[in-house]
A and B are shown apart, each in its own frame.
Chain A
Amino acid sequence: MKRSVTPVFWLMFGAGGIIAALFGPALVLITGLLVPTGVGVNPAIMDYVHTIAFARHPLGKLVLLAVISLFAWHGAERIYLTLKDMHLGRKLTLAWLSYGSAGAVTLATAAALLAIGF
């Protein structure tokens, strides 16, 4: 029997979905609203020195790669299924567009994290 790759996409979708459900609101609030406005937090927690130290640490790299790539895969699955239901193109084309974008985001994140070094 031919194996389907669908469960792999579902796994990425689910992993991204659970991280977004548990930490998404706090992440957006901290990185997008509190740090830029300086409300409540010390903006220094996201300055160059601290952020690059975080990104150089293996655990920091893992967190960044997991959050960015899994959020992308989560969105890709939803975008793909919605576009497919809207009949906005051939299934294969839509799959390549959405999953391909998520794959590109994953590779770009990994490349940038490697470029930052250890």
Chain B
Amino acid sequence: MRRPYLRPIDSLWWAKPPYLAYTLREAAGIAIAAYALVLLAGVICLALDENAYSAWLRFLASRWSLALHAIFLIAMLFHVWTWFAIMPKTMPRLVIGGRYVEPRFITAAGIVIAALASFVLLAIALWVRP
């Protein structure tokens, strides 16, 4: 009978370094999906009627929701960082002027573009006066 050797693995391996960094990165994905659910609830309330939508807005103003969105914001910022940190590894090597562009420049450029994009959206929201 075949009895292969199975190396014992700590069942909490994902909660310990060096894997913890990956677990946290993946957890940011949970926050992004949870934010999508909050928005979905808003769209469903919008489809129901004005009272339902007002209830959703009141939920957004509650302490629980503000704390939740503070966590979402931290997760989003962490996502921006990890997303562009991985980007050089997931794309073909970039050559400009016969030279390979260093990964850290790609990461930095991505974060700058993301900061600009978020800033423009924020600026529009701050300037719009309906």
Contact = CB atoms under 8 A, between A and B. Distances in A.
B101 interface: no
A77 B29 contact: yes
Nearest to A77: B29
B126 interface: yes
A27 interface: yes
B80 A25 contact: yes
Report the interface size class on chain A: 35 or more
A115 B36 contact: no
A23 B128 CA distance: 17
A78 B26 CA distance: 5
A14 to B, nearest CB: 8
Interface in A74-118: 74-79, 81-82, 85-86, 102, 105, 108-109, 112-113, 115-116
Nearest to A43: B57
Given A45-B125, A82-B23, A109 B43 contact: yes
A76 B70 CA distance: 22
- 7 interchain residue pairs of minimum CB distance: A75-B33, A78-B29, A32-B69, A71-B36, A26-B118, A24-B76, A26-B121
Interface of B: 14, 23, 25-26, 28-40, 42-44, 46-47, 50, 53-54, 57, 60-61, 65-66, 68-70, 72-73, 76-77, 79-80, 83-84, 110, 113-114, 117-119, 121-122, 125-126, 128-130
